[in-house]
Amino acid sequence: MDYSLLTGVYARLEGISGRLEMTDVVAEFIKEVPDESLSTVLLFLRGTPFPSWSSLELGIADKLMVKALSSVSGLAESKLNDLVREKGDIGLVAEEALVSKPQTTLYSETLTVEKVQENLGRLAKLTGKGSQDKKIAYITELLSNASPQDSRYIVRLILGQLRIGVGDGIIRDAIAKAYELDPSVVDRAFNMRPDWGEVALTAKNRGESGLKDYGIIVGQPVKVMLAQKAESLESALEDMGEVELEVKYDGARLQIHKDKDRVSLFTRRLEDVTRQFPEVVKDSLNHVKAASAVIEGEVVAVDVGTRRPLPFQNLSRRIKRKYDIREMVDKIPVEVNLFDIIYHNGGDKSGLEFRERRQLLSESVDETDRFRLAENLVTTDLKPAENFYKKALDMGHEGVMVKNLKAPYQPGSRVGYMYKLKPVMESLDLVVTGGTWGEGRRASWIGSYLLSVYDPESGGFLEIGRMATGLTDEQLKGLTELFKPLITSQEGRSVVIKPKVVFEVAYEEIQKSPTYSSGYALRFPRLVRVREDKGVEEADTLNRVEMMLKK
């Protein structure tokens, strides 16, 4: 399929602000896309070359892209950098630069969606010495065969800066409209198989029955079931009656997929972290009695001597580490606390009541000191629940989970089947979308950060405040190093930051405000921690802010 057909749709979508109209445009387009191209087209519309659970990453920075553009256009890198600063959009710079590119290719090929995907797949797998030159070669090959308009969107896609406003909500509704389906059926299918291309192909060729047949596949992660925040233990017990309380560990949600002698580990963001936790792989092989299973738990970093839990930041060093894994295993040991099983010996168990799943989990695991079931209590009474909560806090944990014993497992949903309770003011998980360089002594650091809520319909972000106080010099230095590679443009001291990082933010109050695009502002926001376990799609939404304001 010609790539220009897709970029024509991109251009149309950029000129539309209404959600319903955008949904119509996407729906009409995908109805005409051939089966063999549909999966890639849906990924590209969403602004990514790979499914969310894929371990492939492009890792291309603006500097490398400028080198590729210089090679194709004949313009000096300094000239291109000036244009980037002027326009604030490297995609528009690519389009302008390639309008007058020299005709160096006698046998220019028609650029296809498949060719773009092929080159990006190869690019993502390059590592080691000489890989930078090879990456530039794959990019220049695409740009050499691209029209100026095509190049605008190729560059934005590679850099993760597509910005056409098409989020999961629009993709879901467009698939539903194109193939005359209930959006809730499409949504459930995506939560079971988080790949819009696969969902769209099934919807097109097998309809509603095909999507309803979706079950768990071992080795391919499902979206995790999410918890709501409880106001109190009393309110949670009143809502659900008999409940199971579990310790809420300050770690990372882990989805363990075992199929005979093969184990895969995924985070709640669907990242593959199998290589980072070889001891968990070994424990899963040795202590999960089922031949095939999908089990959920929380992996927690612990102190070498006392075995008490360590803050999440210690665990994040394990998650990020790509090399010298053995050294990190010894330096930062972990424990796994298991709490659910949703697949067992060839059968999808997500429809069972939680009480039955917990019993099955108990029967399926030989517990050890570091690979065990999460500590729990089943009760209907407030007093023992309060004692359990206090015990969890005394042990150094975050709080408790309160779970409905009759509830099935609902991937990707916050449906009131479980609550989380922590003894702190309810915080918000917000995406960093901008910043301002400091002044004087702090001029070399980003001194304040623009915070935004996530809009799941458009895939965009709505500003809700700036955080500038309470950060130490050490924190400012570390955060600046984190965000420097994510700066996409700068005007004066203000920078635009690629939305990749989530902050957990505490605050004094939520106020209505015309200053920010969300319509609200946070009073005295302050950083609790960087949520390295969360993707931007898991950040809090405007709807959640409004619900909290009503409370």
Q: Mind telling me the catalytic residues?
A: 248
User: Where do runs of H (alpha helix) occur along 471-512?
Assistant: 473-483
Contact assessment for residue 465 and residue 451, using Cβ atoms and an 8 Å cutoff: yes
Half-sphere exposure of 370 (CA within 13 A, CB side): 20
Buried b (16+ CB within 10 A) or exposed e, 160-176: bbbbbbbbbbbbbbbbb
User: Where do runs of H (alpha helix) occur along 113-147?
Assistant: 113-124, 131-144
DSSP run (H or E) holding 421: strand 418-421
DSSP for 237-277? HHHHSSEEEEEE-SSEEEEEEEETTEEEEEETT--B-TTT-
Q: How far apart are CA 89 and CA 95, in angstroms?
A: 10
The number of helix segments (H) and strand segments (E) in the chain equals 20, 20
Cβ partners under 8 Å of residue 359, min gap 6 = none
Cβ partners under 8 Å of residue 50, min gap 6 = 43, 56, 57, 121, 124
Cβ partners under 8 Å of residue 417, min gap 6 = 225, 354, 403, 404, 407, 408, 410
Q: How far, CA to CA in Å, does 259 sit from each of 195, 331, 349? A: 21, 29, 16
Q: How far apart are CA 188 and CA 177, in angstroms?
A: 16
Q: Is 464 exposed, middle or buried (0-12, 13-18, 19+ CB in 10 A)?
A: buried
Cβ partners under 8 Å of residue 507, min gap 6 = 427, 428, 465, 522, 523, 524, 525, 526
Q: How far apart are CA 368 and CA 249, in angstroms?
A: 17
DSSP for 27-64? HHHHHTS-HHHHHHHHHHHHT-SS-TT--------HHH
* 294 phi/psi in degrees, rounded to 5: -125, 115
Contact assessment for residue 222 and residue 255, using Cβ atoms and an 8 Å cutoff: yes
Three-state DSSP class for 212? Answer: helix
